[in-house]
Structure 1
């Protein structure tokens, strides 16, 4: 549920989303199928400027992936060179190549998650202790196997795995008891060819070659932005998305009827794409990909348009853009989402001097979520309190704790989901999510009182000391649980929907747990002018001086030189490691 007003789509660049109504009749099959179930149930930025909008006359590519923060870094800065290619970028440790963000001698590329819908759920009927399942009027043999999971200090655990040949493995339910929900995914339907594109993409010499290579990419479905030294800039949705009915895509459907099967894949050449758009820019920040006139269903999940709108606004200001100009966009902390909340909060009558001071701070706030901003602290803390007020209502009681047998790592508190959902409800004064009898003024009044209490409790009674940075730290923890391995904590600006995105754990605390795990700017005129940074450092060794030596720069939104030419690398290298067989 995203407020789609003034929402820029990716294709065509600069256009705004134009919705059209959908016929909900097909959803009846979803509800019917769920009768058989007797249990309760990414974001990133990337953009490119064409050469006619830059000082050098060649494109500039920039962006930053958003993920849960980790120790060591999620991405590893690396440079891979051989006779066949010379590529530099950000890689997952243990995964070959630089598939998501990087460049070679000729092209630069980056991605954001397209939130493509390439997985469907089917409610399956089983019999004979899960030995067979029903499909198209006949009973089919289910594949059953036992997986043994070894655990240190505990007895091995046996897991029974059931798989249907039509819809894939059972991921919920118990076929022995007669039902289960199977998940069909493009990544499981056939042997994946995704990794086969890595080496060819490192050898590509222009955007057209890169896009041809990416036909083999399967999942996840990504927004691919690219540019080459010839001046071409382009976008292409990449990945496999099945062709199926809306009902199949929107919820679990009966697996036994054969009425909800896939009908092949959306052809690669029909996926959204654009080359050298008239605006001379492409922006993707997980917003809607295209308008409803597009004939294929791609997915329903999208991010709010705030980040995309802010990036477009910043790019529209640029003339003869430089690397420094584009890098400055990374530091944008203007919260568009705050406007609605501040307007509604300022209409309240304060109940004491502390609430009055909080509202005065909001009234004077420029809507930039900076570390030294008291207004930013009031906004996020009070909005968090309103979210908790709603989440604790009876409508969300079943979402307050994990479901039976739900793995802890998959549980998302209701507050995390409501942070995204509430703005649209607030804008319409829609009380459907509120406790019975409560109005939005009630929720805001309670949130203001609770939020001010939290601010006083954590930061003291002096409102001038209510700094956002005093609450909001990048304080990642090492997975081994040893505090001696943790990096130092550092104050950071930004929030969920700012371009400089640093998401707190809504309803739990205010430290940043999710955000930019790398930032980069690629200069296609001079690769050595490119810049990058990661939250910690280039080393995963806690004893290395390079374990967290980029942290302060990352927190401030600054970037380091991304050295590419080997003469420059040799001249500035601190050390050299030679591996011998």
Structure 2
């Protein structure tokens, strides 16, 4: 690993030389000057007078910050990870080829407007420009040297494929549909207990019951997969799917400032660097700030001086499994394509993908006869969400913003909006099938699924609310419409607990102040405990446990304030108790393989705690007090095995730790020390507004890497506060690789103003190459000897130079 360390040192070397050179990069493709300014956090602010030039600048800046991450995301979407990572990535590549993300991206590219496609091509040109100069100087990100390969040219379809792949993994219904197929095939005796979702009675809904009623409920037909076929699909799509988010907006009338305000903290996997990329844009004075995904130009979430928007996963059902032979409608033809997954150090794998309009065929289990199965999914339809990302940030009022969402396909999102004039709104965007109630719970016959996907909901049929009487809107992955109201959108919603708590905070604060929003994003109240803990404590009071450890657990739960605080023992005890109850009621009956496929186990267990009839139907013979006392005794024993026999030393933060790592951190201790970060003890949990979602070992793998609050004000002022776990750079030697992490852990936010330009710490200027320049001058200016920092701006009298990766001056 000495060689690895040496490569990293070489990657840092040009930054000191960049201080001594002031250069401008001349590009033939530009129409005017582009400035890439870096603020104190290294965040790029791209300023241009021409839209294409702006996106060239975005490509240059993003490549210098996140090139290797962009390449990994591209490879994951197009099925080319195994070329770099070998056999361990082959399964991911086979899935990407089977689902034909790249083909779907090319179809969507054909649907883009000429200006939108030109912007994506300009972005690709900017990326390739940066890559050429980094390669010429041996300054590619060190991961390329360590893995011994070079990045290929960027394309428009690369950006679109990344969107398709991320959109698929934000889907929530497929895994639960596969669980139900296994339940029907392997444990039909438990169908009555576990087939139907268990959304809590009285739980929050996003939009009040003022929409027209939808069609009458009917039970959708189901088609049984064989046990082997269901298990095979479970293996094919193994891994947790679906992320959540919190977003809310308050109207001017409900805000203490007299202006509308918005908060958003989108939940995704904790990675290093983050999957979000902070970006400021300025097109001839039109300024905006927010985040996008590396590889995707524009803004996914953000604000301009007049409008702010956030997003959450809608959790609408947009994935269906169809069983049996299909007959495509007249005029529609099937397609088939064969490709090769190249495996580094291994044998190539041939993959044939096939399908038709809106669906792909799924492979069956080897050596077993099974009916053909197809996946219908919104992302297999051409769509223009990448164009929306270019247009949303330029909208100045809600009607204009709404129009930017036409053509949005995946992921299907709820967008929460606030405007300077005081409007607040929530709008769903994406491709949603028209289905009857109860359809989509489990796989169905090919003809039925094809019929429900033959038409999709029109843009004006999707959920929307503008300026509701309550004066605020909240979206937290909970049920969107009340039962029986409006179109049927699905059944597998996230729990209402976060939405309930946000609504509670807003209701208790008639005129909310945006300064409170950052604290609310860190709120630790466990909504699940708020619902079921009184019942559990009543049971324990009726039948107290006897072991000293369980007695301590009982006492800690009785004294608990319901907050998932890292310094308390009670949330640790509550989580352990819930896991033992899950094993008793679900895992012991379904078996580990089937139980692991259940994505709504939390709500199922909560339902069993609260409903004695449900426990009896399940076959539970013991009274609840006995069950809970036994479960707490076992939970306390497990905690003692893991954290010691002295329960006074038990702390939730010893388990609840963010363990995000760079993909190379597992290669060696040296790389782990460079790329990884030590686990961070945190508060919050799976059912708190401050969401910290654990894996099976209790380590936090998902949460809100980015938090965002926007407050409008008078005289055109827009105050933005945000923080991104880690930072803007993907280079571990950059000062901006982890500079925001302490603030993120502490709940602090940095301020950004749109009514004045950022304080420029570094600047890279791109300028058009004019025909009058001599060849000698062109060579001299087009090939600077140190990084692409070509104009160095002095801030407060201090000259600033290139970043530690020697790629971008302004980082």
Instruction: State the Cα distance separating 1:166 from its structure 2 match.
Output: 5.0
Q: Which residue of 2 aligns with 1:10?
A: 206
Indicate yes or no: 2:636 matched with 1:452. yes
Indicate yes or no: 2:251 matched with 1:50. yes
Q: Tell me the secondary structure at the aligned position of residue 291 of structure 2.
A: strand
Deviates more, 1:389-398 or 1:211-220: 389-398
Instruction: State the Cα distance separating 1:23 from its structure 2 match.
Output: 4.8
Gaps of 5+ in 1: 126-132, 401-412
Q: Which residue of 1 aligns with 2:340?
A: 148
Q: Which residue of 1 aligns with 2:575?
A: 380
Deviations 1:17-59 (A, max 9, x none): 99999755x43x31xx326786234211100011112232111
Bigger fraction of residues in strand = 1
CA gap of 1:107–1:367, structure 2 versus 1, over 3 A, is: same
Q: C-alpha distance in 2, partners of 1:540/1:64?
A: 21
Conserved? CA contact 2:229–2:365, under 8 Å: no
Q: Which residue of 2 aligns with 1:365?
A: 560
Instruction: State the Cα distance separating 1:367 from its structure 2 match.
Output: 0.6
Q: Which residue of 2 aligns with 1:289?
A: 480
Conserved? CA contact 2:420–2:712, under 8 Å: yes
Conserved? CA contact 2:412–2:431, under 8 Å: yes
Conserved? CA contact 2:251–2:260, under 8 Å: yes
Q: C-alpha distance in 1, partners of 2:608/2:622?
A: 13
TM-score (norm 2): 0.63
Q: Tell me the secondary structure at the aligned position of residue 521 of structure 1.
A: strand
Conserved? CA contact 1:135–1:257, under 8 Å: no
CA gap of 1:214–1:259, structure 2 versus 1, over 3 A, is: closer
Where in structure 2 are the equivalents of 1:218-229 lying within 5 Å?
Answer: 218-229=409-420
CA gap of 1:438–1:578, structure 2 versus 1, over 3 A, is: farther
CA gap of 1:37–1:374, structure 2 versus 1, over 3 A, is: closer
CA gap of 1:147–1:399, structure 2 versus 1, over 3 A, is: same
CA gap of 1:110–1:270, structure 2 versus 1, over 3 A, is: same
Which one has more relative contact order, counting CA pairs under 8 Å at least 6 apart? Answer: 2
Conserved? CA contact 1:391–1:414, under 8 Å: no
Indicate yes or no: 2:349 matched with 1:157. yes
CA gap of 1:200–1:257, structure 2 versus 1, over 3 A, is: closer
Q: Which residue of 2 aligns with 1:483?
A: 672
Q: C-alpha distance in 2, partners of 1:391/1:4?
A: 18
Instruction: State the Cα distance separating 1:246 from its structure 2 match.
Output: 4.2
Instruction: State the Cα distance separating 1:414 from its structure 2 match.
Output: 5.0
Q: C-alpha distance in 1, partners of 2:491/2:659?
A: 33
The correspondence for 1:423, drawn from 603, 606, 610, is: 606
Conserved? CA contact 2:434–2:487, under 8 Å: yes
Instruction: State the Cα distance separating 1:142 from its structure 2 match.
Output: 4.9
Q: Tell me the secondary structure at the aligned position of residue 39 of structure 1.
A: helix
CA gap of 1:327–1:415, structure 2 versus 1, over 3 A, is: same
Indicate yes or no: 2:276 matched with 1:75. yes
CA gap of 1:220–1:307, structure 2 versus 1, over 3 A, is: same
Instruction: State the Cα distance separating 1:269 from its structure 2 match.
Output: 1.4
The correspondence for 2:706, drawn from 509, 513, 518, is: 518
Instruction: State the Cα distance separating 1:469 from its structure 2 match.
Output: 1.3
Deviates more, 1:84-93 or 1:306-315: 84-93
The correspondence for 1:173, drawn from 351, 364, 367, is: 364
Where in structure 2 are the equivalents of 1:387-406 lying within 5 Å?
Answer: 387-399=582-594
Deviates more, 1:220-229 or 1:390-399: 390-399
RMSD: 3.1
Instruction: State the Cα distance separating 1:118 from its structure 2 match.
Output: 2.4
Deviations 1:461-506 (A, max 9, x none): 332221111221112122122422111322110110100110112x
The correspondence for 1:300, drawn from 491, 515, 538, is: 491
Conserved? CA contact 2:535–2:609, under 8 Å: no
Indicate yes or no: 2:264 matched with 1:63. yes
The correspondence for 1:561, drawn from 747, 751, 760, is: 751
Q: Which residue of 2 aligns with 1:311?
A: 502
Deviations 1:493-540 (A, max 9, x none): 0110100110112xx322211111211101121755321112222222
Q: Which residue of 2 aligns with 1:408?
A: none
Q: C-alpha distance in 2, partners of 1:414/1:262?
A: 25
Indicate yes or no: 2:399 matched with 1:208. yes
Q: Which residue of 2 aligns with 1:39?
A: 229
CA gap of 1:537–1:75, structure 2 versus 1, over 3 A, is: same
Where in structure 2 are the equivalents of 1:115-154 lying within 5 Å?
Answer: 115-125=315-325, 134=327, 142-154=334-346
Conserved? CA contact 1:73–1:517, under 8 Å: yes
CA gap of 1:415–1:248, structure 2 versus 1, over 3 A, is: closer
Q: C-alpha distance in 2, partners of 1:160/1:475?
A: 37
Indicate yes or no: 2:478 matched with 1:266. no
Aligned residue pairs: how many?
A: 547
The correspondence for 1:503, drawn from 693, 702, 714, is: 693
Indicate yes or no: 2:427 matched with 1:243. no
Conserved? CA contact 1:84–1:203, under 8 Å: no
Instruction: State the Cα distance separating 1:174 from its structure 2 match.
Output: 6.8
Q: Tell me the secondary structure at the aligned position of residue 530 of structure 1.
A: strand
Conserved? CA contact 2:308–2:418, under 8 Å: yes
Q: Which residue of 2 aligns with 1:183?
A: 375
Q: Tell me the secondary structure at the aligned position of residue 364 of structure 2.
A: strand
Instruction: State the Cα distance separating 1:103 from its structure 2 match.
Output: 0.7
Instruction: State the Cα distance separating 1:134 from its structure 2 match.
Output: 4.5
Q: C-alpha distance in 1, partners of 2:649/2:414?
A: 42
Bigger fraction of residues in helix = 2
Q: Tell me the secondary structure at the aligned position of residue 562 of structure 1.
A: strand
Q: C-alpha distance in 2, partners of 1:60/1:566?
A: 19
Deviations 1:224-266 (A, max 9, x none): 1111112211111111212234465333322257973434221
Deviates more, 1:554-563 or 1:384-393: 384-393
Instruction: State the Cα distance separating 1:299 from its structure 2 match.
Output: 1.6
The correspondence for 1:90, drawn from 283, 291, 302, is: 291
Q: C-alpha distance in 2, partners of 1:193/1:60?
A: 28
